[in-house]
Amino acid sequence: MARKYSIKLSDTVHRMITIYFVMGFWTTQSGNRTVSAWQLFYFLSFCLFGSSVGIEAYTTENTDDCIFLVTTILIGLLQVGRLYNIIWKQNKTIDLIHEASTNSTDDYRTFCIVSGKLNKQVILIKYFIFCMYFVVVIVAGLPLITKELIFDMTFPWDYKNSQIGFYVAYTFNVENFFVSITIILFASMLWFLMMNFVVKYEILGSDFKNLGVARTEEEEQKNTESLFLKHLVESIKSLEYINGLLEEFLSNFSYLFLLQIVTSSICICGGVYSLAFSSHTNILQDGFYFTVPFLCFFDTFALLYLSNEIMLASDRLSYCLFESKWMDQTESCKKYIIIVGERLKQPQQLVVGKQFPMNLRTFTMIVNRSYSMFNILRRE
């Protein structure tokens, strides 16, 4: 039965999906498809860019440059993982986005609350994306004035002494930066997906609170006990559906989350160290040094904060259940409520690598490790 208030997929997310199709990251082919020429170009070009940075990090004699280049490689490794997911798991990702973004409720107050949360997150994502593409504009524009790349990398042509070599290296650099920022749109999609899971649990919590409350004229004709049980069964089915969808989400992206958690402390530390101890003779380079730790910090915080919100939203379900008028029901109905209440005592917690719970405590651990590594590097 259709509900009164529905929440549709955000126009901003629609535009992100459209950008991926227009740029060739995604194709309109379905089923068992081959990789398109554009997809292969993006993947190989980005891997080649990472390799050139890696070779430069291995061969450079400057320790400070080496630390920053290693940080860049780790970020690139995470981006390659995302790019792999974008290309080879296109259909699963699109299906998850559309399925998780379909939400509806009969309670107007709940509708206003969850709509407000989604709108605030979309606004935050817009600002984040704007900042990232602004960085691309700076990266693309200033090297043409200064005639210097942001950082050194291994390249077949001598881009420091040859004008042709510089422009070829510049084009290669800017193209891969633009691809990298476009890949970050995928992270924004994952944040949106996770907020939708929070919304689903909050709507379910509202359903638990309103067990036995008539929603239609037809339901008003039923007796209270049968209506309460009907709503309880529907809510349990919704719970199993949401939990199953969340498990599917985690199974598809768990390796990305694990990679991000493992590398983020090194990336934050390396970025802050480079910013603190750089020569500060190149404004463009300093700006990029600032962008790297900011991106790593914000990206990791958003991921673990939303995971924590999913856990808290699912943890509140048991309280919502016992806020219903369950005490007015028959003894047999009360037994069902107690059984369901026991089931709800264990919140849904995202765990990757069997030992990394995705919550704010893990984020605190990452920041502490970054600080410890920074102190070690500073003493040497």
The full 3-state SS of 31-79, as one line of letters, equals: CCCCCCHHHHHHHHHHHHHHHHHHHHHHHCCCHHHHHHHHHHHHHHHHH
| Cβ atoms within 10 Å, residue 89 | 13
The one-letter code for the residue type at 91 is: N
User: How crowded is the C-beta side of 185, counted as CA atoms within 13 Å?
Assistant: 22
| Cβ atoms within 10 Å, residue 54 | 18
Q: How far is it, in rounded angstroms, from Cα 53 to Cα 76?
A: 10
Q: What is the structure's pLDDT at 116?
A: 92
CB 199 within 8 A of CB 173: no
Q: How far is it, in rounded angstroms, from Cα 45 to Cα 108?
A: 50
What dihedral do alpha carbons 282, 288, 289, 292 form, nearest 10°?
A: -170
The tokens 């990398």 sit on which residue?
Answer: 153
Q: What is the structure's pLDDT at 20?
A: 93
Please state, in angstroms and as integers, the Cα–Cα distance from residue 274 to each residue in 131, 283, 294, 378, following that order.
Answer: 21, 13, 13, 11
CB 252 within 8 A of CB 89: yes
Q: What is the structure's pLDDT at 131?
A: 85
The sign of the CA dihedral 80, 82, 85, 90 is negative
Q: What is the structure's pLDDT at 364?
A: 94
Q: What is the structure's pLDDT at 313?
A: 94
CA angle (243 as vertex; 240, 247 as ends), nearest 5: 135
Q: What is the structure's pLDDT at 139?
A: 75
Q: What is the structure's pLDDT at 30?
A: 59
**H or E segment to which residue 7 belongs:** strand 5-7
Domain ranges of the chain: 9-27+36-379
Q: What is the structure's pLDDT at 253?
A: 94
* pLDDT tens across the length of the chain (380 residues): 556 788 888 888 999 999 999 999 998 875 556 788 899 999 998 999 888 888 888 888 888 778 888 888 898 899 999 999 999 989 899 999 999 988 888 888 988 999 999 999 999 999 988 888 888 788 778 777 777 777 666 766 777 777 888 888 888 888 888 888 889 889 999 999 999 999 999 999 999 888 877 666 566 656 666 788 888 888 999 999 999 999 999 999 999 999 999 999 998 998 888 888 876 666 767 777 788 888 889 999 999 999 999 999 999 999 988 888 878 777 888 888 888 888 888 889 999 988 899 999 999 999 999 999 988 888 76
